[in-house]
């Protein structure tokens, strides 16, 4: 058994310690907001926060996250109130197909925690998630909107 704290709740996971966190989240815990993209930690669709850091869940073995705080897109809102990044996404209609957006939102939430008012250069350096629809202009606008609401 491996113990994780997922979205504020302690969870005992019965899985091989080499199992990628992504599959534990999706298949054992039913948290399907974290998406499978490339499976190599390159595209960002599976981004979650581990102790506040944005990481790819597809390449993170369960053993590495034992005892750590894991936050998924399902746990980002608090008490029914959207996180400021989620709200900016809604306000500006950021996503097109939306597949990459949960990972994108998680990466942006981590960025704004470290850099509350990022410049375009800081956004470019920090947000490496891939959006096949090419909504990068809307994403940048959403980041700036969320930064304004801090």
Q: Could you tell me the CATH number of the domain that includes residue 13?
A: 3.10.20.30
Mean pLDDT to the nearest integer, 62-91: 96
Q: Residue 39 burial (CB < 10 Å; 0-12/13-18/19+)?
A: middle
CB 25 within 8 A of CB 82: no
- Residue position matching structure tokens 């897109």: 73
Mean pLDDT to the nearest integer, 92-112: 95
Are both 7 and 67 inside the same structural domain? yes
Mean pLDDT to the nearest integer, 67-93: 96
Are both 95 and 140 inside the same structural domain? yes
Are both 102 and 56 inside the same structural domain? no
Are both 18 and 49 inside the same structural domain? yes
Q: How confident is the model at residue 102 (pLDDT cuts 50, 70, 90)?
A: very high
Are both 64 and 102 inside the same structural domain? no
pTM of the model: 0.95
Share the mean pLDDT of the chain: 96
| Rounded distance between C-alpha atoms, residue 43 and residue 36, angstroms | 9
Report the first-to-last Cα separation within the chain, whole angstroms. Answer: 39
**Predicted local distance difference test score (pLDDT) of residue 86:** 97
Which residue range(s) make up the domain with 47? 2-75
Are both 11 and 68 inside the same structural domain? yes
pLDDT at 15 over 90: yes
Total number of domains in the chain: 2
**Predicted local distance difference test score (pLDDT) of residue 150:** 78
């Amino acid at each position: 058994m491996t113990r994780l704290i997922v979205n504020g709740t302690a969870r005992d996971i019965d899985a091989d310690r080499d199992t990628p966190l992504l599959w534990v989240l999706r298949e054992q815990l039913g948290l399907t907001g974290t998406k499978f993209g490339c499976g190599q930690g390159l595209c960002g669709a599976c981004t979650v926060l581990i102790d506040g850091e944005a990481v790819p869940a597809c390449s993170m073995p369960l053993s590495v996250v034992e005892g750590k705080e894991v936050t998924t897109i399902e746990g980002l809102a608090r008490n029914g109130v959207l996180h400021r990044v989620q709200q900016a996404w809604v306000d500006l209609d950021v996503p097109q197909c939306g597949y990459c957006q949960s990972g994108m939102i998680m990466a942006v939430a981590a960025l704004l925690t470290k850099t509350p008012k990022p410049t375009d250069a800081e956004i470019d350096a920090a947000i490496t998630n891939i959006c096949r629809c090419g909504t990068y202009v809307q994403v940048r606008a959403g980041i700036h909107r969320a930064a304004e609401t801090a």
